[in-house]
Amino acid sequence: MTMHTRTLGTTGPHVSALGLGCMGMSGMYGESDAAESIATIHAALEAGVTLLDTGDFYGMGHNELLIGRALRTAPAALRENALLSVKFGALRDPDGGWSGFDGRPAAVKNFAAYSLQRLGVDHIDVYRPSRLDPDVPIEETVGAIAELVEKGWVRHIGLSEVGADTIRRAAATAPIADLQIEYSLISRGPEREILPTLRELGIAVTAYGVLSRGLISGHLTGSRQFATNDFRAHSPRFQGENLQHNLTLVESLRKIAEQKDVTVAQIAIAWVLSRGEDIVPLVGARTRERLGEALGALDVTLDAADLAAIEDAVPADAVAGERYAAEQMAMLDSER
Ligand SMILES: NC(=O)c1ccc[n+]([C@@H]2O[C@H](COP(=O)([O-])OP(=O)(O)OC[C@H]3O[C@@H](n4cnc5c(N)ncnc54)[C@H](OP(=O)(O)O)[C@@H]3O)[C@@H](O)[C@H]2O)c1
C-alpha cells in the first residue's frame, strides 16, 4: 500500500488520497466501540492518512471529543500530520433529534470556539457549513469563516452539499478548498453540473458515501436489521424492494471484483479515486479491519476495460431510491 496525496483545490492543503470519515464512530450507524474507533484513527494516521473528517453535531460533540482523545494519545509525529475537516451548523436536541441549520456569522464563531475546545487544537484545517442555511446568504456564512481564517483559527474554507449557484457565490466571497458531497457508483448527481463548476473554479471534492453507507460495500445482506436510530433504517435505498434491487447491482460488481482478486468495497472506492485527481474519497471505516480493506483500494488499478465493465454492471442511473428521505432531500441545496 502506497499513500498517494492529492490537493484540495488550488488554494487548499495537500492531503492523503483517502480521508477517514469519523461520523460512524458516534452513533449514526448504530453502536460503535470507542476503543476500536480510536485504534482505527491511530491505524489510519500510521498508514499515512492525514485527513480526518468530522462534524460538531456527530453525537452532539461526541465525535470531536473522540478525535481529540485519539490525537492526544497518538505519537507526536502522527498527530502533527493530521488535518481536521470540521462541519458545523446542524442543530440537535438532547434526544438526538435534528432541528435545522444555523449559518449566522455569530453562530459560526460560536460553533468554532466549541469545536476547538473539544478537539483540543489551536486551529481547524478546513471548516465548512454542513448545509446551506436558507435564511442566511452564503456570503455571510463564508464571510464569517474568512474572518476566522484571518485570525488563524481556521486554515481553509469548505462547503458541503451545495449546488453550482451557491458554490459560485461562496467562491466570489473567499477562496474555497473543497466541496463535500455524496459521490459514488450509485450517486452520480454531481457529474451533471456541480463537478464541472468545481473544476472551472479550482475547487476539489471530498466525496462521502463512496460505499453508499455500506450498501455497496459487499458486506451488507438483505436480512440486516437496523436499529431505529441507524440512518439506514430510514434511507430509501435500504428499504424493501429498493434494497433487493440495489443488492443485485452489488452482486454484478462482485463478479468484477473477484476477477481482479479484490473486494467489492475496494472496487467501489477505486472507482471514485479514478474519477479525478481532484477527488478525495472519505471512507467511513470504524474498525481497523474495515480501514485495512479501504486502504487496499489505493493499490487497485482500473484500466479502460475495467471501467467499462463497472459502468455496465452498475449503470449511472441504476439505483433504486433517493439517497436521503424526502425531508432531508429538501435540505440539500445540491439537489435543487
Ligand atoms: N457532508 C455531509 O453531508 C456528509 C454526510 C455523511 C457523511 N459525511 C462524512 O463522510 C464520511 C464517510 O461517509 P459514510 O460513513 O456515509 O461513508 P461510507 O464509507 O459510504 O459508509 C460507511 C459504512 O460502510 C460500511 N463499510 C463496509 N466495508 C467498509 C470498508 N471497507 N471501509 C469503510 N466502511 C465500510 C461501514 O459499516 P460497518 O462499520 O458496519 O462495517 C459503514 O457503515 C463520514 O464519516 C462523514 O465524515 C459527510
Angle at 73 between CA 68 and CA 79, to 5 degrees: 70
For the Cβ of 27 lying below 6 angstroms from any atom of ligand 1, the answer is no
Is residue 166 in some structural domain?
yes
Q: What Rg value do the Cα atoms of the chain yield, rounded?
A: 19
* Cα separations in angstroms, 232 against 28, 39, 76, 145, 293: 9, 25, 37, 32, 22
Number of domains in the chain: 1
Is residue 63 in some structural domain?
yes
The enclosing H or E element of 239 equals none
Instruction: Determine the pLDDT at residue 223.
Output: 87
For the Cβ of 323 lying below 6 angstroms from any atom of ligand 1, the answer is no
Ligand 1 atom nearest residue 285's Cα = 33
User: With a threshold of 0.85, does the pTM exceed it?
Assistant: yes
Ligand 1 centroid to Cα of residue 21, in Å, is 7
Instruction: Determine the pLDDT at residue 229.
Output: 86
Taking a C-beta distance cutoff of 8 angstroms, is the pair 213, 182 a contact?
no
Is residue 151 in some structural domain?
yes
Cross-strand pairs, 282: 19
Note if 324 is an active site residue. Answer: no
Instruction: Determine the pLDDT at residue 6.
Output: 98
For atom 4 of ligand 1, which residue has the closest CA? 208
Q: What is the domain extent for residue 45? A: 13-215+264-300
Q: Which residues of the chain have pLDDT under 50?
A: none
Q: Report the CATH number that the domain containing residue 66 is assigned in CATH.
A: 3.20.20.100
For atom 26 of ligand 1, which residue has the closest CA? 214
Task: Determine the Cα–Cα distance for residues 198 and 129; give it in Å rounded to an integer.
Answer: 17
Is residue 241 in some structural domain?
no
Burial classification of residue 206, based on how many CB atoms lie within 10 Å of its CB (0-12 exposed, 13-18 middle, 19 or more buried): buried
Is residue 307 in some structural domain?
no
Is residue 26 in some structural domain?
yes
Task: Determine the Cα–Cα distance for residues 55 and 159; give it in Å rounded to an integer.
Answer: 12
Is residue 246 in some structural domain?
no
For the Cβ of 56 lying below 6 angstroms from any atom of ligand 1, the answer is no
Is residue 100 in some structural domain?
yes
**Cell numbers at 158, concatenated:** 469548505
Instruction: Determine the pLDDT at residue 224.
Output: 86
Instruction: Determine the pLDDT at residue 3.
Output: 86
